Amino acid sequence: MDLTPIQRRNQRTIVIIALICIVPFGAAWYFARHPQLVMGDLGNVGHLISPAVPLGFGELVETPVTSPESMEQLKGRWIVLSAATGACEDACRQNLFKTRQMRLMLNKEIPRVRRLLLLADPNAAGPLADWLKQDEFLAVAGLSPALLQKLEKAVGAPLQPGQILLLDPLGNLMMYYDADFDPYGVLKDLKHLLRASQIG
């Protein structure tokens, strides 16, 4: 049956509306899977992990140290991840300070980014009690041997005290930074990613 001009116009309108809704999510998913397409002009501040390594949310927060609420706030957000295979000593604490200041400099984008500290030794959380009282947006969880192995495989070497890793909102481990990272360089990368991505 032939459509009337009005029916054809209505059909086109429906298709256009559907595309407007679908295309941004499709593009966000594609760029999350192919981060090198949006990272090419960043000056290699961090090290790109290609292909990105998917991590399950459950394995990140398998043994929470901080509150369940802090774990829930990690879902669907960009995560700046720090890991300590022993005590959280000077390099680790300096890392936490730099990433906290870096997150504050995101201004209106702050809600899109969370920080997670993984500790291989659960007893290492005790000496951080005073720090955690002052840093309410830092989530802390245990670091299992299996997860540590995945992180080290992605980095291509044993984790160094003070290194950080970056996960996208889909749980893909996509970049890492050396222990002496420049927080302004990481901030530049992160701002670029947040502008390019509609997710998180």
- The span from the CA of 81 to the CA of 59, in Å, is 13
Rg over CA atoms, the chain: 20
Higher-pLDDT residue of 3 and 5 is 5
| 197 has pLDDT over 50 | yes
Spatial neighbors of 103 by CB under 8 A, at least 6 apart, are 80, 110, 113, 115, 137
Give the pLDDT score at 2: 64
Spatial neighbors of 31 by CB under 8 A, at least 6 apart, are 37, 38, 196, 197
Domains of the chain, earliest start first: 34-196 (3.40.30.10)
The share of the chain scoring above pLDDT 70, in percent, equals 85
| 88 has pLDDT over 80 | yes
Which of 164, 158, 170 minimizes the C-alpha distance to 187? 164
Give the pLDDT score at 41: 45
Are residues 170 and 82 in contact, defined by beta-carbon separation less than 8 angstroms? no
Give the pLDDT score at 28: 57
Residues 130-159 as b/e (b if ≥16 CB within 10 A, e otherwise) read ebbeebeebbbbbbeeebbebbeebbeeeb
Are residues 164 and 78 in contact, defined by beta-carbon separation less than 8 angstroms? no
- Mean pLDDT on 20-42: 56
pLDDT single digits (tens) 115-151: 999 999 878 888 888 888 888 889 999 999 999 999 9
Strand-pairing partners, residue 79, are 114, 167
